[in-house]
Chains A and B, each alone.
Chain A
Amino acid sequence: MTEPPSSSAVSFSRLTKSYRVGHVFQQRKTVLHELTFEVERGEIFGYLGPNGSGKTTTLKVLTGLLFADAGEIRVLGLPLADRSWRQRTGYLPEHPYLYDYLTAREYLDYVGQLFGMPRKPRADRAAELLRLVGLERSADVALRRFSKGMVQRAGLAQALMNDPELVILDEPMSGLDPLGRRLVRDVILALKKEGKTILFSTHILSDAETLCDRIAILRAGRLVDVGRLADILRLDVAHMEVLVSGVDPARLAIEGVHGSHPLGERHRLHVDERALGSVIRGLEQAGGRILSVQPVRQSLEDFFFQEMGGRDAVGSGEGGD
């Protein structure tokens, strides 16, 4: 079968999913509402949302663990039902549980068999991946003796066993210490350098901000926004932050100062960029000493909170998990 030309690695079109809830009088609850977006080939795509927003549900539908009610998904240009794309993708589920009666090497060997890899390349690839995720010294230890972070690393290794074109990672940083998170970040960047597509879900915004080319934000099963970080976030300066000391708080009411936060003897001021010069002069005339002046841009976290309607909406759990 010839693959139809497609620039997207994954495309979701009006994807809808509902669950039956309740015991006696069961009702259907829609957890994904007509999601439509694409993941381009060769990019790192972050799928963001608070807990319960439907990120994992989307990835489970994508990998065939759940069945969609409606909508269409294409993977590497092929319909979801065409199983051949699975040969070219890797998947790490959230909180992976790997067979604890196997060693990490045995598990990877088993995964290699499922991809139809011959014995020698299977063994070589397993050794290479165990080195990559820093588990070469624990390769022959039973997985039941692994810490949560080590299981997560082994899970990442199994997702890469077939050298996939598309890697789907559900909360890949979950359960990892700072070293582990750094390792996963490096692996993701290395995969991108090799031209792979990475689709990963996370609720850790700093990870998305440092890694992603594009992001999609999900709230209660609905797509809030999708696009390049630069397009979604206002990367122009939102305001200036001035750190000043030695000023009487009563004399901080200068035109252009939108707010001040005391930090011991110092004050952090939010200043309108256009009024910066006059504010600095006013502070100096009031006997203040300017310690620093910094431009402040909107962060993904600012955007996230703004879009989620503040803290109350975060983790509302309206969607699936």
Chain B
Amino acid sequence: MNRLFAVATNTFRETVRERVLYNLVFFALVMTVSGFLLGHLSLRQDEKIIKDLGLAAIDFFGTLIAIFIGVGLVSKEIERRSLYPLLAKPLSRSEFFLGKYAGLCATLFVNTGVMTVGVLATLFFAGHRADLHLLRAIYPLYLGFLLVVALALLLSTLTSSVLAAVGTVGMVLAGRYSDVIRNMRQVAPGAPQLLVDVLYYLLPNFANFDFKDKVAYGDPVSAGTLGFATLYAGLYVAILLTLGLVSFCRRDLQ
């Protein structure tokens, strides 16, 4: 457990020293603050615009970080062979793999926290109250990031980092439009029902983590809904990490 913690801590340090992270956080904060300026253009809508843009920025940039840093977490170590001296030590492959995952999740937690503070501060400076109801949208978004990182990690153990990035982006996009897949036969009647069903149930359904509109409009998001999202993310992440572990632990590191 101590070794897993050491890998997680080091991964956190690695990711916070990545230049790309600062670029993404910077753009996310710019996007959030721009909501403040846009809000002035629309009468009595500024609060909603700040919330909309802030939540969208957290979602978009959080997902980008999860994909592009997540894909490189293990594959970069294999390509650069930096894990060779480490895996010859008492550190097991599963400790290494899970430690890398935990480290990036910690980084995403801090990032999401920074961006959340950015949205709340923008609301405050625009003369509105810092609405903690936003957390009911941000928490499930964070669960979605955890799922994306697990997906990126799994794919990066199966193929090159470039293909893994393409695959993760494709699956995340498909998972965000899973309703389109479910109703595919309405626009493409020839599509086999079995294929439609398999795709719909196999791909992660990111609609389970998307309450941005509800929260921006001030609609309630029940604890039960959040509980389901947590359970769904937990189960999905557990399956993805198990598959990733099996693949990584059996792999010859040439």
Residues in A lying within 8 Å of B, measured CB to CB: 19, 60, 63-67, 83-84, 86-87, 89, 91-93, 95-99, 101-102, 110-111, 113-116, 155, 158-159, 162, 168
Q: State whether B88 touches A83 (Cβ < 8 A).
A: no
Q: State whether B13 touches A19 (Cβ < 8 A).
A: no
Q: State whether A86 touches B88 (Cβ < 8 A).
A: yes
Chain B residues numbered 78-100 whose CB sits less than 8 Å from any CB in chain A: 80-82, 84-92
Task: Identify the stretch in B2-10, B63-71, B188-196 within 8 Å (CB) of chain A at 4 or more residues.
Answer: B2-10
Q: A96-B84, A97-B81, A159-B85 are contacts. A114–B253 as well, Cβ < 8 Å?
A: no
- Using CB atoms, name the residue of chain A closest to B89: A114
Q: State whether A116 touches B2 (Cβ < 8 A).
A: yes
Q: A96-B84, A98-B82 are contacts. A110–B254 as well, Cβ < 8 Å?
A: no
Measured in the bound complex, the distance between the Cα atoms of B77 and A97 in whole Å is 9
Q: A66-B254, A159-B85 are contacts. A114–B14 as well, Cβ < 8 Å?
A: no
Chain A residues, Cβ within 8 Å of B17:
101
**Contacting residue for A65 out of B13, B80, B253, CB 8 A:** B253
> Could you show 11 A-B contacts with beta carbons less than 8 Å apart?
A64-B88, A83-B90, A87-B90, A91-B85, A93-B85, A97-B82, A102-B13, A110-B10, A113-B3, A114-B6, A114-B86
Measured in the bound complex, the distance between the Cα atoms of B100 and A145 in whole Å is 25
Chain A residues, Cβ within 8 Å of B219:
none
Measured in the bound complex, the distance between the Cα atoms of B250 and A60 in whole Å is 14
**B1-34: contact bitstring with A at CB < 8 Å (1 yes, 0 no)?**
0110011001001100100000000000000000
Chain B residues, Cβ within 8 Å of A114:
3, 6-7, 86, 89-91
- Using CB atoms, name the residue of chain B closest to A142: B17
- Using CB atoms, name the residue of chain B closest to A86: B90
Q: State whether B14 touches A101 (Cβ < 8 A).
A: yes
Measured in the bound complex, the distance between the Cα atoms of B80 and A111 in whole Å is 18
Measured in the bound complex, the distance between the Cα atoms of B80 and A113 in whole Å is 22
Chain A residues, Cβ within 8 Å of B14:
99, 101
Q: State whether B252 touches A67 (Cβ < 8 A).
A: yes
Q: State whether B85 touches A158 (Cβ < 8 A).
A: yes
Chain A residues, Cβ within 8 Å of B89:
86, 91, 111, 114-115, 162
Chain B residues numbered 88-122 whose CB sits less than 8 Å from any CB in chain A: 88-92
Measured in the bound complex, the distance between the Cα atoms of B90 and A115 in whole Å is 7
Chain B residues, Cβ within 8 Å of A86:
88-90
Residue among B2, B13, B90 with most chain A CB within 10 A: B90
Chain B residues, Cβ within 8 Å of A96:
81, 84-85
Measured in the bound complex, the distance between the Cα atoms of B3 and A97 in whole Å is 20
- Using CB atoms, name the residue of chain B closest to A67: B252
Chain A residues, Cβ within 8 Å of B250:
67
**Contacting residue for B252 out of A66, A89, A95, A102, CB 8 A:** A66
Measured in the bound complex, the distance between the Cα atoms of B199 and A208 in whole Å is 59
- Using CB atoms, name the residue of chain A closest to B16: A101
B252 to chain A, nearest CB (A): 5
Q: State whether A89 touches B10 (Cβ < 8 A).
A: no
B21 to chain A, nearest CB (A): 12
- Using CB atoms, name the residue of chain A closest to B79: A97
Q: State whether A91 touches B88 (Cβ < 8 A).
A: yes
Chain A residues, Cβ within 8 Å of B2:
113, 116
**Contacting residue for B87 out of A64, A99, A102, CB 8 A:** A64
- Using CB atoms, name the residue of chain B closest to A170: B84
- Using CB atoms, name the residue of chain A closest to B95: A114
Measured in the bound complex, the distance between the Cα atoms of B13 and A168 in whole Å is 29
Q: State whether A99 touches B88 (Cβ < 8 A).
A: no
Q: State whether A97 touches B6 (Cβ < 8 A).
A: no
B111 to chain A, nearest CB (A): 18
**B179-207: contact bitstring with A at CB < 8 Å (1 yes, 0 no)?**
00000000000000000000000000000
Residue among A65, A114, A158 with most chain B CB within 10 A: A114
Residue among B14, B89, B253 with most chain A CB within 10 A: B89
Q: A99-B14, A116-B2 are contacts. A65–B82 as well, Cβ < 8 Å?
A: no
Q: A113-B3, A116-B3 are contacts. A97–B88 as well, Cβ < 8 Å?
A: no
